[in-house]
Amino acid sequence: MEHTFTEENGFRYVEEGEGEVLMLLHGLFGALSNFYDIIEAFKDSYKVVIPILPLYELPIEETTVRGFVQYVERFVAFRGYDKVHVLGNSLGGHIALLYALDNKDKISSITLTGSSGLFESAMGDSYPKRGDREYIQNKAELTFYNPKHATEELVDELFDIVNDRNKVIRVLATAKSAIRENLADEITSITAPTLLIWGNNDTITPPFVGEEFHKLIPNSKLLFIDECGHAPMMEQPEQFNRYLREFLDQLK
């Protein structure tokens, strides 16, 4: 599953397929690989777009949830998309919500999975230790119900991040801004159809977080997936894609 990045005008992104735009927003430790199965399942019926968020490239004062929302706004304007179905995992869900709140006329639907914005325990009180690969592997495994999904490639990526001072500073800045940007009072005004897909075994944004989003977002539907942690689209892709397709088909 090779996907070609396009780099232009300061943006790096993947765009495959034709049709309505399905824009996927990754989390703080996520990237293109998180969405391979969604791309393959939906590129025949949607224009699937993944802007790679500049988690480590923005000036430190712009390395915030709001800073990434503004980046997404600039990207959508540059590509000339009219309306988008936006899907976000973890921090990407948080960004998707703020984008939807600020651009209600550009949203066809919202899908959140393991989203921050109300509560998350990703950092806790112990940021992964520099140089301690076993510790980092254990942390990565907590993302999933089945630890086999914490691949060598994923652990290597995290290891690189926590041993790069510039990246660590930006990860912490983003995490702190996410905690400050609690959306409980704002998301009650969302009117777009919203799908919430949650892992029943998510320990980072536990099931009660999905339930709280469901209570607060008026036009929302909540679905759970068993034997599934914080990244359902990676751990249970068939079930995830079935839920997503059923939701999108109902909007046509």
Q: Of 78, 40, 72, 46, whose CA–CA distance to 58 is shortest?
A: 72
pLDDT tens across the length of the chain (252 residues) = 567 899 999 999 999 999 999 999 999 877 777 899 999 999 999 999 999 999 999 999 999 999 999 999 999 999 999 999 999 999 999 999 999 999 999 999 999 999 999 986 544 434 445 567 887 888 888 899 998 888 888 888 888 888 888 988 998 899 899 999 999 999 999 999 999 999 999 999 999 999 999 999 999 999 999 999 999 999 999 999 999 999 999 998
Q: Are 84 and 99 in contact (CB under 8 A)?
A: no
> How far apart are alpha carbons 145 and 121 in whole angstroms?
16
**pTM of model > 0.85:** yes
What length does the chain have?
A: 252
User: 188: domain CATH number?
Assistant: 3.40.50.1820
Q: Is residue 169 part of a domain?
A: no
How many domains is the chain partitioned into structurally? Answer: 1
Q: Cα-flanking dihedrals φ and ψ of residue 87, to 5°?
A: -130, 130
Give the domain extent around 191: 6-122+182-250
Q: Is residue 148 part of a domain?
A: no
Q: Is residue 155 part of a domain?
A: no
